[in-house]
Structures are given as C-alpha cells and as structure tokens.
Amino acid sequence: MASHTVKTQRDSLVILSSNVVSRAISFRTPQRPITAGLVDETCTLAAELLTATRSARTPLEKSEARKMTRLLADSAGKELTFHLADEVFRPPTVKEQARVFRQLIARHGIPIYLKPHQRIMMRVGVLASHIFPDIVMPAITEKSLATPNASFSPAKTIISPATSPHEIT
C-alpha cells in the first residue's frame, strides 16, 4: 500500500511539474517584461514545486537528504569525501589504496556527518586496512557505490591519459 501511495505522489508530482514548466515557459516573453508580479509568481511556482517534491520523497531519500545536510555542515568531512574520491581509488593496488585511505583519515579525521555506526565502521576499516587491505578496500569501494546519491564513486571518476589528476571527466 505504501508503494502505491508513493507512486501516486510521484505521478502527482510529475503532473504538477509539467504544469509548472508550462506556466514558467509562458512567464517571460518580449511582450511580458520582468516585473515584481512576475517574480512573485515565479517564487510561488517554485514553492509549490518544492512542497510537492518534499512530500513525494521516500524514507530513503529523506535519510539521504539529512545525510547531505550533515555533510554540508561538516567542512572536514567534505574535504575528506573529496579526497577519498580524488585519491583513494586511483592507486593500482589495494595496499596503496589502504595507505592513502589511512593517511587521509589521519589528516582529516572521521567525518562527523556519518551516523555513529558508520563512524565505528570507518575506524575499524582504518585499523583493519593495515592487515586486511584486500578485504577492507573493496568493501569501502562497494559501500561507496551502493550508497544512493553517493558523494564519491570510482565508477564515475574516469581519468584519461591526456588529463592531469585534477581534470576528471
């Protein structure tokens, strides 16, 4: 029953979005310059769309949104997440990946945006990566790929020989 409700909410959102887009397209024409009324109407449409979008989110999407909010408030966590994506998955061996992973955690700390059990698992991963990099690093990679809206993903980081390490396509 819950999935039917979500589908109905999503269908309603699609219809509302279509209406908003149709109305937005007709907003500004050469015959209709930007005015305070047009700005107010645009803001009203944006608020309607935001409200509809928020009401149609699944529990998983809500959880991910809260996680993203925590990430954005955690500057050290943001930096670590960037460096994980930028540095950890590039070395050719899991031993080198584990070494870089440990160095980044030592430099930036365990992110506070993670939930308590995730922080514990990251600590365990840091310790275990000394002895079992062949188990730990694939698990970290898998977890990053399995996370919806993952902040980093080695599958999305493609480096061509012609680009520098900072030019990711």
pLDDT tens-digit readout, 132-141: 999 999 888 7
H-assigned helices in 26-163: 36-55, 59-73, 75-83, 94-108, 116-131, 133-146
Per-residue pLDDT for 120 more than 90?
A: yes
Residue 106 confidence class, pLDDT cut points 50, 70, 90? very high
What is the Cα Rg of the chain in Å? 22
Tell me, what amino acid is at 106?
A
Residues 76-104, mean pLDDT to the nearest whole number: 87
Q: Where are the domains of the chain?
A: 2-56, 69-156
Q: Which residue has the tokens 């584990």?
A: 98
Per-residue pLDDT for 116 more than 80?
A: yes
Per-residue pLDDT for 155 more than 50?
A: no
Q: Cα(157)–Cα(121) distance, rounded to whole angstroms? A: 24
Q: Cα(53)–Cα(142) distance, rounded to whole angstroms? A: 29
Q: Cα(123)–Cα(116) distance, rounded to whole angstroms? A: 11
Name residue 32's beta-bridge partners. Answer: 29
Residues 25-29, mean pLDDT to the nearest whole number: 59
Residues 32-51, mean pLDDT to the nearest whole number: 76
Q: Cα(123)–Cα(155) distance, rounded to whole angstroms? A: 24
Residue 102 confidence class, pLDDT cut points 50, 70, 90? very high
CA distances from 152 to 88, 117, 131 (A): 11, 20, 25
Taken as a whole, the chain contains a residue count of: 169
The sign one gets for the Cα dihedral 93, 132, 134, 149 is negative
Burial of 137: CB neighbours in 10 Å, binned 0-12, 13-18, 19+: buried
DSSP 156: G
Phi, psi of 121 (to 5 degrees): -65, -35
Q: pTM of the entire structure?
A: 0.54
